[in-house]
Amino acid sequence: MVVATLTVASIIYTPVSLLLPMSEEQLQKRYGSELFEVQNRLNKITGEVLVLREYNNKLRKALGQKEIPGDSDFAIASTTIPSSIEDKDRVIAETQEQQEPIKEKPAEPTITYRNVSSVKEEITFRAEFPIIAPAVGYVSRRFESDRGHYGIDYAGKIGSLIVAAADGYVVFAGFTSEDGYTIMLSHGGGFLTTYKHNQNVLKSVGEFVKRGEPIALLGNSGRTSFGPHLHFEVWSNGKAQNPNNYLIASEL
């Protein structure tokens, strides 16, 4: 009995079990759930990389810098784990067959926000200035470009409305780890306004919004946010501007 118990324990709790032949059903039960979890994680990470790359290129373009070309394109598909070990070779063969057409014309990935390439490159209109304050609240921090703070912070109540400072087109609406839920408007004439750390965004890329129209909800999202507020920026031809120079009424 002692010998039998030690033998069974060594098979279960040591790498010896890997050397023993196992049935396909046993292999699937042991590794199927792990492979499925790894695949889901890879799909999630790929989507996040695509979002960050698009946002980075949009910011570089707004700042007058050259966009970084993508060295590779990700195709996020609903890949499933083979139902049995025999299906492994078939799945590998199908993947290899699909690689050539993907190189010629990569499939557009499915991500959590609409691609900014759907927005027209040239916007012929020019919004009216001065602009209005985008949020109701008190100014918790001023524009301090020498300290890397390129906008004005409006402290307010979570869930209160954020409105468009001027007429414009939505050129970005999504989430980043640094700035949380962010929305960016183009107003023509080289002007952009950015609204960061929102609880949520109410508009999609490509939509036209009027001055005073709600575009987001005030929040506390993003790694660089330390309390409920809106971080509001104004850019002109790739250079950060003091929003107070354009506001109808300034609190500073």
Span 211-215, average pLDDT = 95
Residue 109 in 3-state DSSP? coil
Contact by Cβ (8 Å): 242, 236: no
Per-chain mean pLDDT for the chain: 74
Residue 213 to residue 51: CA distance in whole angstroms: 26
pLDDT at 123: 47
118 pLDDT higher than 80: no
- Higher-pLDDT residue of 180, 45: 180
Structure confidence at residue 74 (pLDDT): 40
Superfamily of domain 116-245, CATH level 4: Glucose Permease (Domain IIA) (2.70.70.10)
pLDDT at 29: 61
Element (H, E) at 136: none
Instruction: Using the Cα atoms of residue 58, residue 59, residue 60 and residue 64 in order, give the sign of their dihedral.
Output: positive
Residue ranges of domains in the chain: 22-104, 116-245
